[in-house]
Structure 1
Amino acid sequence: FTGEGHSMSIRQPLSTANYFLYMEDGVPVRPMGLFNHNGLIETNLMMINSIEVVKGPVSSIYGPEAVGGAINLITNRPTAVPTLKVGLQGDQFNFRRLQFGGGGTLGRLGVYVGGYLSDQKNSWRERSDYVKNAVNVKAEYQLSGRTRLTGVYAYNDYKGQEGLSFDSTAFYSRSYETSQDFMYRNVKAIRSRLTLDHSWNANAETFVTAFHRFNDYRFAPNHTVRWTTGAKTATSEKQRSIFNSYGLIAQHTQRFAFLNTKLLIGGTYDDTPTRYNAFSIDLAAETRADGRSVRKYTYLNDRPDVKLGDYEAKIHNTGLYSQLEFSPLKALRVTAGLRYDRMSFDYDNFLDKKSGMKAYQQVSPKVGMVYDLGRGRGLYANYGLGFAPPSLTAIFRLRPSVQQVAGQDPFYYNLEPAHFENMEVGGWFSALQNKLYADISIYRLNGRNELLSIRQVDNSTDYQSVGRTLHQGVEFGLTYKPSAEWLIRVGGANALHRFEDFQLSVRQADVVKNLSGKEMPSAPRWIVNTEVFYKPRWLKGFRAAAEWQRLTPFYLNQINTVRYDDRGAFGVPGVSVINTRLGYERKGVELFMNVLNLTDELYISSASRGNNANDRTNFSPSAPRTVGFGVQYTVAGKAR
């Protein structure tokens, strides 16, 4: 991915699907129904204090789309003493970032401001320039000893070129000259919130949050080029999506002495008018000598008369939830949660001149228990349901011409929500006088009506709902601290992601019509991350770390005929990459150097391939060896 683009894999394949919920201080970055897998582009890295990751369906608390997991960015709070930090970093590929953060408290008022200005020009691959400006302001005012008012403003402005994936000739020769001249991603995301926290007594507390989200997303994507083998012309598209969202979250927590019980009840509502349009653009295609792949696409002209999507909608999202925790035994903690969600929207589809209303709703329960065995050991078990309605851009997307059938609706009005059932058991233990800590979980996630993108002969995309899917595996983490100087950490997952019942096609011309029993693409069986940290006593302030990232081979298409199994570091197949990090801090000045892809491996960030015999693999390369370096200065006042 170019710029700050990203995908995600938590109990799902490496995915851009809407099965992950991105939040900032507990408030979703985007409303339900308008998911964007690049949602973290719309956040401020320099404002993050910590990241909370909850794996598996957590719909009983956070709501729909939290199926694979929920990612909550916890932002910095005002510091007790005046603090200021300013830093500059870059790399040999012309990436630069000026970052800053600072705050303090005066009387009842505390303020923290953090942000950065970053850009990249003329990098290792052409058409990967981007500029991003981000700033967050958080102010906290202590109205009384029991009541606090918090105001937050977040501004994120991203403008970047988009790089098209490469064919095998360009990828394996590392010829990353531009294969197109028209793709871009421009995002402006503005969010604000006002939160009132009140503690009634030692056992009761309430908060109410009012929030606003504005987003203007303009995009000429890299996945919408449509080209037929041998043709000298092609098409792609330009998209624009705008939403302006207002919402409210209220939650009350009450504790009782009986069985050490805690009751949590809450509700959320948001109202989001949105507008979307997409139209075709014409391209010239310069093919390679065999005519089976394209060396370069050249922009010719816009075709606003050829509309691919054009709608207005007003989304109404409502959620009511409750969670009860209690301890029937001293060592046993039981949790039971229940959430009701409803997403409805009034729409005007300007392409087929239809207006109407659609609604999706679900009740999502979750139960769990934790048993503390003592001496750093314990067991747990969870059961829960997940729910994810289709995104509006999928519903109002015009079907590709190769999939249009006489008498069939040209849009996807009949898409159903995806439903998931999650079961997991796990445990943790510590040993060797707490020098060793390990945790493990075994899960099974059954999916129904999971929405998939099916690549067509001309590279266009058709949406289909899978009958049944299976996601199951083992997640593990191991931390070993043999001394105050050394720390070793290993984390990962061994998982299977499989189509259980999926009718791919009913057309006689298609060789493969059913994918039941096939593994999902971009789903490595093993994902493992190993890190070694060293902080020597003999050189105070110095740190060093080495990291090994490992993904085993995986299929690139849905019919399981092509695998990605190139060899990386240590000669192992799949993705195998080594990163190193060095740093030294003295008297508030920190110097650091990070070397990513230390052995300069050629490997993908993603790759895909259609199911047709003449399809070719599209490769998105990862960066070659990258040496990042920087300096940061931190100054803090003294406590009074």
Structure 2
Amino acid sequence: MKNIFLALFAISQFAVAQNKSKIDTTNVEKLDDVFITANRTETKRRETPVAISKLSAKTINETKAVAAYEIINKTPGVLMVNLGNEQNMMAIRQPMTTNAYYLYLEDGLPIRPLGIFNHNALLEINQFNLESIEVVKGPVSSLYGPEAVGGTVNLISQKPSFYPTFKFGLQADQWGYKRIQAAAGATLGKIGFHIAGISSLQENSWMTYSDYNKDNLNIRVDYNINDKTRLISNTMIGKYYSDMSGGVNETDFYNRSYKSTSDFTYRKSDALRTRLTLEHDWNPNANSYVTVYLRDNKLGQNPSYGIRWSATKNPTTATGEINSNNFKSYGVIGQHTQKFNFWNTTMVSGALYDYSPVTYWSYLINLKATLNPGTPGQQTVNKYEIVAEQPETKLANYTANIYNTAIFKQFSFSPIEELTFNVGARYDAMKINYENALDLSTGNKNYNKFTFKTGVNYNPIKNAGFYGNYSQGFSPPNITSIFRAKSGTGGSTGVPAAFYYNLKPATFENYELGGWMNLISNKLTLDYAFYYMDGKNELLSVRLEDSSTDYRSAGKTNHKGIELGFNFRPNTQWNIRMGGTVAKHRYIDFQLSDNSADALQNLGGYEMPQAPRWSGNSEVSYYPNWLPNFRTAIEWQSVGSYYQNQINTAKYKGYDIFNTRFGYKYHNIEIYGNIMNLTDKLYAYNLSRGNTANAQTTYVAAAPRTFLVGIQYSLCLKK
């Protein structure tokens, strides 16, 4: 990465020499009430009938985040769960989950193709390349397609600056984390560019076996062919490798003995995304674009979550797995936006074609389990060791070609100034042609779905508005779930491998009411939303006695809650932000067991596990007049209690933690510091427990108090 940063510096100096006499024509007024994600076009908040939040460049810059969750958790109604080393799970109108109910976009284009969801997709993001983040809560499948169910996160990249700019920074903490980052941009005649790179390294942290390193480079080049036509190129190259320390048992957690039970588990990723967009303005009321893109991802794992161990069957042995998931995507998406004078109507029409070949294999490894002292049947593991790898014992082995074709259309119109209607629909046709080497079968799977949404905004006065919407969501099963051999079949079991060919797509219906207000001369803003969402055939991971996972398409689930965001800026020195959600997620009809000997057959009426009734993030920021260019803030992250298991017999009390941030800028140099977990509270980011009587809780331990310090140099040359 050293060469990358030297190149960035050299390019910035060349841009300085070429642009000293230029005049900035891109310094436009920043409008925080304008969004792109909700309607695929720039739309004012008062015309957007969904719950949507925007995290601005100022928020991103002041957060100085190590990982994306530190920024995204500032969104009311969002809980992005840190799993360590930039890995995560998400909770937006869903329990904390790794299921495919969230869509992650990069400048409006999904980071992953349909059917290959990865809850860790955001670890590929370059935090130093972000201009803003928009989060839509609730289904937007009618615009963006499957997986846009619980929420959609759109990461919007930096654009080329007109004046030459250059930034360079370093940051580190006391636990062995270090990051170097640089960015440069300028406009040279008709060509503008922006380049940003980061290199992160974690060594010898508070948790054993938790090192990682990450290198990312983003390059954007804009070519203004003329005043109506633009050609835009975006490329991301990323490499990531991380130890996977996994969770700890209850005794080690409360003793703060942060010791991994394995020293061989890992996750590694090589990612390339590149796209080329041609935009054309036909006239002030008509605009079109077409984007061609390529994705190339290689993901390899020896995952800690893949370890299978039973305290009662044969506690000194266990199994694990090594897997590889590689795919490419070749796609094109086109969109046309047309505005009409009649009723101030806007029509958005588009189509997408995506072809993604994928290969996946997974094989068994045998492990030895060294136990901690304890009562037989209730012991815990001190350490796992690899005894033998069995490449011939495949748990999954398939190739597939995924074809996704979609068309979408959306209308918005205002018969009167105070009233705006929004109607949208999309049809997705997903086809999977596969070859499964384990049962020597070939075939195809088809998941086709029409999704619809409609909404209305009513703005009776300038400073207040209300909205309501009905929207549908749709998520087909991930193909890694379909072609995974069922527990107790295949491999060396002697039982022919059985698969999840009959998994059904999950469908959702969401009903929502909300509104916004600007009060006290815009010093006080308030956003709120009430939602009620029914799910059918949700793909749920059922944890069995030996910690293995079985997949089921649930009968029915229900999700309902209230989301609230509050911001008060009494003067230029103070800003108070509060946000959170009160929610309840429960099973309506879910057959947990078909065994008549089991006491609990159906989870109907039970709360879903890992679903806090409350979560929120609030912050008080201070910018003293008596010390210009200084900032400080204290943040409160709160997560309420939730059940650890499906049968609701064990609960976690949740946690409240505080973080503080401060920074001072002197001319072109900024010095900053973050103190995370200010009170050094003992808590877990996440925990889970099996349904059996002797099941034990696994804790994903949170970091002790952490001191992050950094320095950043920024240069912008104007005439």
Q: TM-score, normalised by structure 2?
A: 0.87
Residue among 677, 685, 707 paired with 1:605: 685
Q: What amino acid does structure 1 have at the position aligned with 2:480?
A: T
Checking the alignment, whether the CA contact within 8 Å between 1:180 and 1:299 is kept in structure 2 is no
Higher helix share: 2
1:391 maps to what in 2? 478
Structure 2 counterpart SS, 1:180: coil
Q: What amino acid does structure 2 have at the position aligned with 1:65?
A: E
1:188 maps to what in 2? 270
Checking the alignment, whether the CA contact within 8 Å between 2:88 and 2:119 is kept in structure 1 is yes
Checking the alignment, whether the CA contact within 8 Å between 1:368 and 1:383 is kept in structure 2 is yes
- 1:440-519 map, 5 Å: 440-519=528-607
Q: What amino acid does structure 1 have at the position aligned with 2:630?
A: F
2:357 maps to what in 1? 273
Residues in 1 aligned to 2:98 and 2:666: alpha-carbon distance in whole angstroms: 42
Give the 3 Å change call, closer, same or farther, for CA 68–563 of structure 1 in structure 2: same
- 1:360-439 map, 5 Å: 360-401=447-488, 410-439=498-527
Give the 3 Å change call, closer, same or farther, for CA 79–299 of structure 1 in structure 2: same
Structure 1 counterpart SS, 2:252: helix
Checking the alignment, whether the CA contact within 8 Å between 1:280 and 1:304 is kept in structure 2 is yes
Structure 1 counterpart SS, 2:142: coil
2:236 maps to what in 1? 154
- 1:333-372 map, 5 Å: 333-372=420-459
**CA shift for structure 1 position 229:** 1.1
Give the 3 Å change call, closer, same or farther, for CA 629–623 of structure 1 in structure 2: same
Residues in 1 aligned to 2:644 and 2:537: alpha-carbon distance in whole angstroms: 22
Residue among 347, 364, 372 paired with 1:288: 372
1:55 maps to what in 2? 137
Deviations 1:220-241 (A, max 9, x none): 1111111121521110111100
**CA shift for structure 1 position 301:** 2.0
Residues in 2 aligned to 1:604 and 1:363: alpha-carbon distance in whole angstroms: 40
2:305 maps to what in 1? 223
Residues in 2 aligned to 1:287 and 1:32: alpha-carbon distance in whole angstroms: 42
Structure 2 counterpart SS, 1:300: strand
Q: Is residue 162 of structure 2 the alignment partner of residue 94 of structure 1? A: no
Checking the alignment, whether the CA contact within 8 Å between 1:198 and 1:207 is kept in structure 2 is yes
Residue among 294, 300, 304 paired with 2:387: 300
Q: What amino acid does structure 2 have at the position aligned with 1:532?
A: V
**CA shift for structure 1 position 471:** 0.5
Q: What amino acid does structure 1 have at the position aligned with 2:285?
A: N
Gaps of 5+ in 1: 566-573
**CA shift for structure 1 position 517:** 0.4
Residue among 60, 66, 73 paired with 2:155: 73
Most deviating of 176-185 and 98-107: 176-185
Residue among 229, 251, 256 paired with 1:169: 251
Residue among 625, 629, 643 paired with 1:537: 625
Deviations 1:156-182 (A, max 9, x none): 100110012111011111111231121
1:568 maps to what in 2? none
Structure 2 counterpart SS, 1:624: coil
Structure 1 counterpart SS, 2:253: helix
**CA shift for structure 1 position 336:** 0.3
Checking the alignment, whether the CA contact within 8 Å between 2:247 and 2:260 is kept in structure 1 is no
**CA shift for structure 1 position 466:** 0.8
Q: Is residue 99 of structure 2 the alignment partner of residue 14 of structure 1? A: no
Q: What amino acid does structure 2 have at the position aligned with 1:280?
A: L
2:328 maps to what in 1? 244
Q: What amino acid does structure 2 have at the position aligned with 1:539?
A: L
Deviations 1:373-426 (A, max 9, x none): 213101000101100000000000011118999999710000000000000001
Residue among 340, 345, 348 paired with 1:256: 340
Gaps of 5+ in 2: 1-82
Residues in 2 aligned to 1:434 and 1:528: alpha-carbon distance in whole angstroms: 23
Q: TM-score, normalised by structure 1?
A: 0.97
Q: What amino acid does structure 2 have at the position aligned with 1:259?
A: W
Structure 1 counterpart SS, 2:97: coil
Checking the alignment, whether the CA contact within 8 Å between 2:136 and 2:151 is kept in structure 1 is yes
Deviations 1:436-485 (A, max 9, x none): 11111000010000000011111110001110000000001000111110
Residues in 2 aligned to 1:507 and 1:306: alpha-carbon distance in whole angstroms: 29
Residues in 2 aligned to 1:514 and 1:407: alpha-carbon distance in whole angstroms: 28
Residues in 2 aligned to 1:511 and 1:621: alpha-carbon distance in whole angstroms: 32
Residues in 2 aligned to 1:87 and 1:108: alpha-carbon distance in whole angstroms: 29
Q: Is residue 219 of structure 2 the alignment partner of residue 137 of structure 1? A: yes
Checking the alignment, whether the CA contact within 8 Å between 1:45 and 1:115 is kept in structure 2 is no
RMSD over aligned CA atoms reads 1.4
Residues in 2 aligned to 1:428 and 1:384: alpha-carbon distance in whole angstroms: 20
Residues in 1 aligned to 2:455 and 2:259: alpha-carbon distance in whole angstroms: 53
Residue among 386, 410, 422 paired with 1:323: 410
Q: Is residue 706 of structure 2 the alignment partner of residue 619 of structure 1? A: no
Checking the alignment, whether the CA contact within 8 Å between 2:488 and 2:495 is kept in structure 1 is no
Q: What amino acid does structure 2 have at the position aligned with 1:255?
A: K
**CA shift for structure 1 position 305:** 1.7
**Structure 1 residue runs of 4 or more that deviate by more than 6 Å after TM superposition:** 402-409
Checking the alignment, whether the CA contact within 8 Å between 2:523 and 2:568 is kept in structure 1 is yes
**CA shift for structure 1 position 61:** 0.7
Structure 1 counterpart SS, 2:144: coil
Structure 1 counterpart SS, 2:555: strand
Give the 3 Å change call, closer, same or farther, for CA 365–111 of structure 1 in structure 2: same
2:76 maps to what in 1? none
Residues in 2 aligned to 1:130 and 1:524: alpha-carbon distance in whole angstroms: 30
Structure 2 counterpart SS, 1:401: coil
Checking the alignment, whether the CA contact within 8 Å between 2:489 and 2:498 is kept in structure 1 is no
Residue among 576, 580, 585 paired with 2:656: 576
Deviations 1:525-571 (A, max 9, x none): 11111100000011010000000010111000000000001xxxxxx
Checking the alignment, whether the CA contact within 8 Å between 2:141 and 2:147 is kept in structure 1 is yes
Residues in 1 aligned to 2:596 and 2:255: alpha-carbon distance in whole angstroms: 39
Residue among 125, 138, 142 paired with 1:43: 125
Give the 3 Å change call, closer, same or farther, for CA 342–407 of structure 1 in structure 2: farther
Residues in 1 aligned to 2:704 and 2:598: alpha-carbon distance in whole angstroms: 39
Checking the alignment, whether the CA contact within 8 Å between 1:259 and 1:326 is kept in structure 2 is yes
